[in-house]
Structure 1
Amino acid sequence: MEAIQHIHHISAIVGNPEENIKFYRDILNLKLIKKTVNYDDPSTYHLYFANNSVDNGTIITFFNWPNTHKGRIGNGQVERIAFRVPKGSLDEWAQYLEAHQIEIMITQLFESKTLEFEDIHGLPLALVEDDKVQSDQQSIIGFHGVTLLSLNPQETVKTLTTDMGLVKTSEDEGYIHIETQGEWRHHVIVKKQIADTNVRWGVGVVHHIAWSVPTNQAHLDWQAYMSNKGYHVTEVKDRSYFNAIYMKEHGGIIFEFATEGPGFTIDEPFDQLGHQLALPPQYEDRRDELLRLLPQIRV
């Protein structure tokens, strides 16, 4: 099996969709590329954001649960999502976020200067500078990486390295650092200390991380390969813009494997991405009903 090259997308649970859009589109300057519904619960939105080029390796998605309980961060989840920003821009980003009344903390979490903060719904985020790309724009290049909270950190590391082909780069007292082998070099950090509690789904927590596979055949190969490794892998699910399979690795974290195609322009032209509610064929005859159920988005 060819090693996993990069993250495809990350999906988190947040609150009010208008607040969600204002934060990621209007403050972080990401592009809203898809306004659809949760295919397993069409009474809730599923919003997709990406960089301006809509590159794979930059896609963050949200399940909007506006009237539900706050989630609890714990074992069995991605804890913090880190974005990559242009070289030399981190101080400017710090001033910019503080001007928007966002509390920040400067750390060395990703083995370099890291700007940690939370979104409007308490989701842990971070910014890390790219070591090459420079830009005058207040922009996000894509994902830099994630931190993982595992019930069994060594087994999670084994899944990522032995089974998926990521590479361990270093280890310190608190963390094991791993990278994907592709061009993005996504940085995955497994926390060695096991938390006192397990994750509870709700607003402000990451639901799953999806790893990119290039083709439908490679997708089926990964399904068979991971099943033969002893993981319980789901059937292939058609998510319109990609095909998906899901599993829990042995530390309890939900891993998805998602195809790179067919992409996000199959039902909207590039310059109209995210403008209208895009529904999969199985829900198109319920459009009027769903529009009545879903909260209005006026931003």
Structure 2
Amino acid sequence: MAHNGIHHVTAIAGSARRNVDFYTRVLGMRMVKKTVNFDDPGTYHLYYGDRDGSPGSILTFFPWAHVAPGRLGVGETQETALRVPESAIGFWTHRFVAQGVRHEAPETRFGETVLPFRDPDGMRLALVAVPGAEAEPAWSGGDVPAEHAIRGFHGVSLLLEDIAGTAAILTGVFGYAEERAEGATTRFRAGDGMGDVIDLRAAPGFLPGRPGAGAVHHIAFRAADDAEQAAMAEKLARVHGVPTTEQKDRDYFRSVYFREPGGVLFEIATDVPGFAVDEPADELGRSLKLPKFLEPHRARIEAALPPLADAAAEPVG
């Protein structure tokens, strides 16, 4: 079966400027693409990732300035985990203290060192020390040295009423295999690369999640191309009785969406064409990019969007 780990994770934020400052300056991620929500062009869609904008490294946000906070509950992502080299945890612990980032003490999960923290909107995140991550592409965005830089996703954890239906799709469609359990959490793994870990935590009877700032909107899994995506969608419908939407062109990937049995919104996104399709790779994130159908309205859209921090306009590296 093909490798179908995480392609990207999309979350909801409050202030766009604060979001850019945190992810580019504090976390040192690269602004990979600055565009708008194709379905709501008065709102930014901001993409952060590694040096190359690789699938498996892309964390994206819809920032709505006055959105109410989300509430953690069943049927949503509990935590989004990012991978760093094993030697980097000390650097990040000190950096979080210096930058006033809400965080907890490092802990051990599934034999790995994990540093949980929150972004300014309360999104639950973690850094995971991964052996060999130092050999993966790194982005040096300012004062985060390349040797300590975030390499992409480790994985996500989902909070669910019952994990069985979700597990069946992870193993039957996306190529994950059940690894082992720790307490109420069962780990599934697709490999040893970016975005290859999914943790399912059973929390029967817990309150349902509420969308809002700090909550994950959806998780996208990788498909190499249109043909692989179509085969996955066909299997979802035929074997699991789960239909997908029609394909939507997002310029940098093509997508279908579905609500998995646990209630989480999943997407299948193609690896192609990638983020360098409308600007050179060394200039990713420098200017506002619009899809062709919105280009005639650029002046009106730019006038309505709030200004962003300088870090978004002038990536360093």
TM-score (norm 2): 0.90
Identify the match of residue 221 of structure 1 among 223, 226, 231: 231
Q: Is 2:120 the counterpart of 1:120?
A: yes
Question: What one-letter code is carried by the residue in structure 2 that aligns with 1:163?
Answer: V
In structure 2, the residue matched to 1:55 is 54
Partner SS for 2:153: strand
Partner SS for 2:73: coil
Between 1:103-112 and 1:149-158, the stretch displaced more is 103-112
- Separation (CA, whole Å) in 2 of partners of 1:127 and 1:152: 26
Question: Once the 2 structures are TM-superposed, how far is the Cα of residue 194 of structure 1 from its aligned partner?
Answer: 3.0
In structure 2, the residue matched to 1:70 is 69
Q: Is 2:159 the counterpart of 1:149?
A: yes
Map residues 1-299 of structure 1 onto 2, 5 A cutoff. 2-105=1-104, 106-134=106-134, 137-181=147-191, 183-184=193-194, 186-194=196-204, 196-229=206-239, 230-299=241-310
Partner SS for 2:112: coil
Distance 1:4 1:198, change over 3 A: farther
Distance 1:147 1:191, change over 3 A: same
Partner SS for 1:282: coil
Unaligned runs of 5+ in 1: none
- Separation (CA, whole Å) in 1 of partners of 2:182 and 2:199: 11
**Is 1:77–1:148's contact at 8 Å kept on the other side of the alignment?**
yes
Unaligned runs of 5+ in 2: 136-145, 311-317
Distance 1:296 1:241, change over 3 A: same
Question: Once the 2 structures are TM-superposed, how far is the Cα of residue 182 of structure 1 from its aligned partner?
Answer: 6.2
Q: Provide the identity percentage.
A: 34
Partner SS for 1:49: strand
Question: Once the 2 structures are TM-superposed, how far is the Cα of residue 297 of structure 1 from its aligned partner?
Answer: 1.7
Q: How many residues align?
A: 298
**Is 1:5–1:182's contact at 8 Å kept on the other side of the alignment?**
no
Question: What one-letter code is carried by the residue in structure 1 that aligns with 2:90?
Answer: D
Question: Once the 2 structures are TM-superposed, how far is the Cα of residue 280 of structure 1 from its aligned partner?
Answer: 0.4
- Separation (CA, whole Å) in 1 of partners of 2:165 and 2:229: 23
Partner SS for 1:226: helix
Question: What one-letter code is carried by the residue in structure 2 that aligns with 1:129?
Answer: A
- Separation (CA, whole Å) in 1 of partners of 2:84 and 2:94: 14
